[in-house]
A and B are shown apart, each in its own frame.
Chain A
Amino acid sequence: MSSEPLLRVRDLHTEFRTEDGVVHAVDGVSYDVYPGEVFGVVGESGAGKSVTGLSILDLVQSPGRITDGEIYFDGRDMLSLSDDELRSVRGNDIAVIFQDALSALNPSFTVGTQIGDVIQNHTDATDEEALERTIDLLDRVGIPNAEERVHHFPHQLSGGMRQRVMIAMAISCEPDLIIADEPTTALDVTIQAEILSLLRELQRERDIAVQLITHNMGVVAQMCDRLGVMYAGKLVETGPVEDIFRNTNHPYTKGLLEAIPKIDDPRDRLPTIRGQMPDLIETPTGCSFHPRCPYDEPQCRTEEPPLGGVGEEHATACIRADELELRPEFSETTESESASVDRTGESADPLLEAEGVKKYFSTSSGWIDELLGRGEYIRAVDDVDLSIGRGETLGLVGESGCGKSTLGKTLAHLHEPDDGRILYAGNDLTEMNKRQLKTERSNIQVIFQDPFSSLNPRKTIEQIVGRPLEIHGLVDDEAEKKARVRELLDEVGLNESHLDRYPHEFSGGQKQRIGIARALAVEPDFIIADEPVSALDVSIQAKILNLLMDIQEEYDLSYLFIAHDLNVVQHISDRIAVMYLGEIVEIGTVDQLFNPPYHPYTEVLLSSIPRPVPGKESTRIEPEGDFPDPADPPSGCRFHSRCPHAMPECERTPPESKALDDGHLVSCLLFDEGVMADKEADVSDVIERQRKLREDLRADGVERADSGGGERVDSD
């Protein structure tokens, strides 16, 4: 880069003084952001990414404070600015976009007022001018009916819309730098793709520099020009994205890149990084990554490696950088033949069958309305048929609000279905009495999404894992219970010293292991895993996925694996069901699902995944509009309002489920010969397009395999 950096950070230290000691959240970080570029900061949670971002604007909350370092923005020393001067920089020159737009926007003011306030704070615009500009901005960020929406409150907008409002607010005063802190983490893939392309577009159009903080390597690859990888408060590798992805030089970066499941990877254990991020009070001496590094040598324990150059702009903090050949190693089996052998569904012996299951939630306020059947219904699950074989994994994907969790809970009989039958090993769960259900409960277990809320904070691990054993009478006395709990903890990779501890003493990944141990306690045959890894970091996610696959093999379990991330789902599943607005629109084996023709919604989902290959503009297929109101689903095919291939018939005729192949069912009029008789050309167009997408996705894999090589990392 020839020009002067816009933001220059040198040797930044931010500390939090707590009772337990000083947390070195940012520990000597130096980087530059040049005008008009996107600089990514990536790393696992707790690496100090967000604190770095907040430090620039001196927004770190007490007890944190910046203890050392220099921050120059546009030639000005940010650390010497007075409060008033800082205020004029915030929002005007540097704007921030937060992760959670719902809590970042004030619920008691309209979005117009909030954006208008920012404008009026930094300019002397009148109320009318501010309103006019706000409307223009909302229009620019793609909010339909901006004139009307400007008077809406944040809760009246969808998640994607709110994030657009945040972006509008950020660009309202034409800043030179935007700090985007996980701007799309809370959003669905389809919305994430939209927001990212909007951000990219605006950034190019207005020549704004962006410091993008994220944990998602796919987002990094698509968005960033340069990248900094953070670990334990330090930058361990910086450089152009292309270089870092192709010539990875730090073992941590390599670990992060390898831990992501990829479309088309074989159903093997994922490589993981052993151990977990140290707490930042006492970081290991020498290289802080050495306890987790597969290449560590005695000198790594004593010498702290400086961030040194390996290329012109590429720097890494590893003393073995020169000798190690660290290209991320991706699987070379990109051919589907080998994979398809393991991935045939075992349809012969269905363990759980759902027939016409419906679950409606009333939106009425009182029980009187409910009793009288008044009020509207949200059709969370609407006429779903499923069957899951013994030892099989069925993946269930869809955007949030599509009813996938509700379906999972209904199958676990945590919700009473409103209609339909659920057969477990041939017995109808819906017709059982309480006693029979209790016995059945030990066969179907659930692993929950949020490891923080699914373990009772007032109970010790022994109580949590031991309780199901007591209820189902699987142990006779305390001693036996204790022994069994120990066994279970051992099974999921925890040790017996954890028995008397409380959940808050564990990390997210460990908590999820406890959740798994509890589910295993009653020796179930069938486990419903409701987004078990979506709250976890990639390296932990890989470990949990490995664990789930290991115990499946050992106990011959069947899974219903619910997730919003197609990458994760396809990695672990034999078959996949795609859900949209309470209905299953496509179901088939992984290969059937990923080989065209497929449902247009699957196409949209597939194309929305940010692919961890830098320099590729995505061939994204834009769904039109937002997720519809589930209380008032569109007529005909429910997806027609967003479908890129919608036809007039779609508004009228709800599609039937058609078998395209053995066991591959798609609900779409495009594949209904009766409807499509006179429109032959259309379908082939669609299939052609899907084929191209498929080839694109596959090309990623081939490319990665080509660049593969180097030593293999042992998984822990």
Chain B
Amino acid sequence: MIPFVGGYIQGYLDKNARYRRIYARFKRNKLAMVGLYFSLIYLVVAILAPLLMPHDPGSTDGARRLMAPTLEHPFGTDRYGRDVFSRVLYGTRISLQVAAAVVTIATVTGVVTGLVAGYYRSWVDEAISRTVDVFFAFPNILLGLIVVAILGPGLNQIILALGIAFAPIMTRITRGSAISVREEEYVLAAKSYGEHSFNIMFREMLPNMVSAVMVQATIIFAFSILAEAGLSYLGLSAQPPTPTWGVMISEGQRNLQTAPWISIFPGLAIMSTVLGLTFLGVGLRDALDPKTDVDTDTTGGL
């Protein structure tokens, strides 16, 4: 499958010189490639989860409770006798969906507000920054509670709540970086040949802020999986028996001493996704920076 994907990408890139160079830079970075494969595997798993699961993630079996990993149940079973492997596979789907949605909401909101604040400064900046300060004063959990109080519990509500909760961090990061990029003379040059403010922000400035945004987005990705777990534990998010990784970890807590596999495997799943995505993010950040053509540092700055 991997050579196939590689071949396909290659074919597309051959047609476009600029993307080819980005891909060439990316490919040179071994860690980034590992990250890419990890992320692709998880994506495929998420899409094909129902076909790959050996058991129904919801079906309970009293006779097979808390069984250690065997060939039939590679990740063991939980205290209702459900197959942990199938649940982890199915959980991929939900957890990735949550994380991807949260990152999208937070990044889009954060980048737009941050850029606007950093570009226009003055009272616009003041208004946005103070609002952000207010949001910072709320713990994520409290924000989740407020949204749930208004819209009722559920996965979509939590996605919205977390998206809003993580956006201010992104706003701050983007704003800081926008303020410094704004002082570069190419921004002034763009103004001098009559470029529209919108284009200056999104076409001239944003590409130069990718690294900060990219790093922050991967962090938010990890945090949102964990935060969703925390909120499910409080019963605000997806409800058991829906298998999200977070729910599974918190469920396994009771049997942590006797049946650690219930929590360990979803934990490993979270860790490997986040790690893979971080590698991917760092690799992308460097690949998008044309200056790294000269620098052949393959560790990608990790």
Interface membership of chain B positions 152-196, coded 1 if the CB is closer than 8 angstroms to chain A and 0 otherwise = 000000000000000000000000000000001110111111111
CB atoms of A457 and B295 under 8 A apart: no
Please determine whether B126 and A446 come into contact, CB atoms closer than 8 angstroms: no
Q: With an 8 A cutoff between CB atoms, is B74 at the interface? A: no
**Binary contact track A448-492/B, C-beta < 8 Å → 1, others 0:** 111001111111100000011001100000000000000000000
With both chains docked as a complex, state the minimum distance between the C-beta of B132 and any C-beta of chain A, in angstroms.
16
- Is A414 close to B, CB under 8 A? yes
Across the interface, which residues of A come within 8 angstroms of B123, CB to CB?
A: 367, 371
| Given known A367-B126, A467-B195, A471-B194, contact A453–B184 (CB-CB < 8 A) | yes
A-B contact count (CB 8 A): 85
Asked if A19 and B126 make an inter-chain contact with CB atoms under 8 angstroms apart, the answer reads no
Verify if B137 is at the interface (C-beta below 8 Å from A).
Answer: no
Within 8 A of A (CB), among B180-215: 184-186, 188-196, 204, 207-208
The answer for the CA separation of A457 and B295 in the assembled complex, in Å, is 15
- Does A50 sit within 8 A of B, measured CB to CB? no
Query: Interface size of A by Cβ–Cβ distance < 8 Å?
Result: 39
Selected contact of A457 from candidates B192, B194, B291, CB within 8 Å: B291
A453: chain B residues at CB < 8 Å are 184-186
CB distance from B207 to the nearest CB of A (A): 4
Chain B minimum-CB-distance residue to A515: B189
Query: If A367-B123, A457-B208, A500-B18 touch, does A449 touch B185 (CB 8 Å cutoff)?
Result: yes
Residues of A within 8 A of B71 (CB): none
Which A1-58 residues have a C-beta within 8 angstroms of B?
Answer: 19-20
Query: A4 CA to B244 CA in the complex, in Å?
Result: 82
- Report the stretch among A183-191, A293-301, A437-445, A541-549 that lies at the interface: A437-445
- How distant is A492 from chain B, measured CB to nearest CB, in Å? 16
| In the bound complex, CA of A472 to CA of B192 (Å) | 12
CB pair B191–A454 under 8 Å, yes or no, is: no
B193 to chain A, nearest CB (A): 4
A452 to B96, CA, bound (A): 41
A504 in complex: contacting residue of B184, B188, B288, B291, CB < 8 Å: B291
By the criterion CB–CB under 8 Å, are B188 and A455 in contact? Answer: no
Residues of B within 8 A of A505 (CB): 293
Residues of chain A within 8 A (CB-CB) of B7 are none
A699, B122: Cα distance in complex, Å: 55
- Contact assessment for A19 and B185 in the assembled complex, using a CB-CB cutoff below 8 Å: no
A518 at the interface (CB under 8 A from B): yes
Whether the pair B194, A472 counts as a contact (CB closer than 8 A) is: yes
A504 to chain B: closest residue by CB = B291
The residue of chain B having its C-beta at the shortest distance from the C-beta of A455 within the complex is B186
B1 interfacial contact with A, CB 8 Å: no
Interface assignment of A502: CB less than 8 Å from any CB of chain B: yes
- Cα A608 to Cα B94 with chains together (Å): 73
Chain A residues, Cβ within 8 Å of B191: 414
The verdict on A448 contacting B188 (CB below 8 Å), with A19-B295, A457-B208, A457-B290 known, is yes
Check: A522 CB closer than 8 A to any chain B CB. yes
Cα A412 to Cα B188 in complex, Å, equals: 11
Question: How many Å from the CB of B125 to the closest CB on chain A?
Answer: 8
Contact with A along B115-151 (1 / 0, CB 8 A): 0000000110010000000000000000000000000
Q: How far is the CA of A521 from the CA of B296 in the complex (A)?
A: 35
B294 within 8 A of A: yes
User: Are B189 and A502 in touch, CB under 8 angstroms?
Assistant: no
Q: Does A426 contact B (CB under 8 A)?
A: no
Most chain-B CB neighbours within 10 Å: which of A414, A453, A458?
A: A458
B185 near A450: Cβ-Cβ < 8 Å: yes
Q: How far, in whole Å, are A453 and B184 apart by their CA atoms in the complex? A: 6
Asked whether A454 and B186 contact (CB < 8 A) given A19-B296, A471-B193, the answer is: yes
A20 and B295 CA atoms in complex are apart in Å by: 9
Alpha-carbon distance between A515 and B193 when the two chains are bound, in angstroms: 12
For residue B302, CB closer than 8 A to chain A, the reply is no
Q: Which residues of A contact B296 (CB under 8 A)?
A: 19
CA distance A515 to B190 in the complex (A): 11
**Contact in complex: B126, A441 (CB < 8 Å):** no
Q: Say yes or no: is A648 at the interface (Cβ < 8 Å to chain B).
A: no
Inter-chain contact A441/B192, CB cutoff 8 Å: yes
A366 close to B (CB within 8 Å)? yes
Cβ B189 vs Cβ A446 within 8 A: yes
Contact, CB under 8 Å: A367 / B122? yes
B51 on the A face (CB < 8 A): no
Chain B residues, CB < 8 A from A446: 188-189, 192
Q: Given the complex, which residues of B lie within 8 Å of A458, measured CB to CB?
A: 207-208, 288-290
CA distance A500 to B20 in the complex (A): 12
Does B63 reach chain A (CB closer than 8 Å)? no
CA distance A612 to B136 in the complex (A): 62
Smallest CB separation, A233 vs chain B (Å): 20
How many Å lie between the Cα of A462 and that of B51 in the bound state? 48
Within 8 A of A (CB), among B78-134: 122-123, 126
Distance of A502 Cα from B122 Cα, bound (Å): 33
Determine whether the beta carbon of B194 is less than 8 Å from that of A502: no
Q: Is the CB of B208 within 8 A of A468?
A: no
Fill in one digit per residue for A343-374: 1 if any B CB lies within 8 Å of its CB, else 0: 00000000000000000000000110011000
Q: Report A478 CB to chain B, min CB distance, Å.
A: 13
Determine if B17 is an interface residue (Cβ-Cβ < 8 Å).
yes
Q: How far apart are the CA atoms of A19 and B294 in the complex, in Å?
A: 9
B120: shortest Cβ distance to chain A, in Å?
11
Among residues 278 to 298 in chain B, which have CB atoms less than 8 Å away from a CB atom of chain A? 288-291, 293-297
Q: Which residues of B contact A518 (CB under 8 A)?
A: 189, 193
CB distance from A686 to the nearest CB of B (A): 41
Q: A438-B194, A500-B17 are in contact. Are A454 and B189 (CB under 8 A)?
A: yes
Are A442 and B194 in contact, with the CB atoms below 8 A? yes
Q: Chain A residues with Cβ under 8 A from B193's Cβ? A: 441-442, 445, 467-468, 471-472, 518, 521-522
Interface residues of B in 222-251 (CB under 8 A from A): none
Write out the residue numbers on chain A whose beta carbons fall within 8 Å of the beta carbon of B185. Answer: 448-450, 453-454
Q: Is the CB of B189 within 8 A of A471?
A: no
Q: Closest 6 A-B residue pairs measured CB to CB?
A: A441-B194, A454-B185, A502-B290, A468-B193, A458-B207, A456-B186
17 further contact pairs, Cβ within 8 A, besides A457-B289, A500-B18, A518-B189: A367-B122, A414-B192, A438-B194, A442-B193, A442-B194, A446-B188, A446-B189, A448-B189, A454-B186, A454-B188, A456-B184, A456-B204, A457-B291, A458-B288, A468-B194, A472-B193, A504-B291
9 A-B contacts (beta carbon < 8 Å)? A371-B123, A437-B194, A441-B192, A446-B189, A453-B185, A458-B208, A458-B288, A468-B193, A471-B195
The residues of A with any CB-CB pair to B shorter than 8 Å are: 19-20, 366-367, 370-371, 409, 412, 414, 437-438, 441-442, 444-446, 448-450, 453-460, 467-468, 471-472, 500, 502, 504-505, 515, 518, 521-522
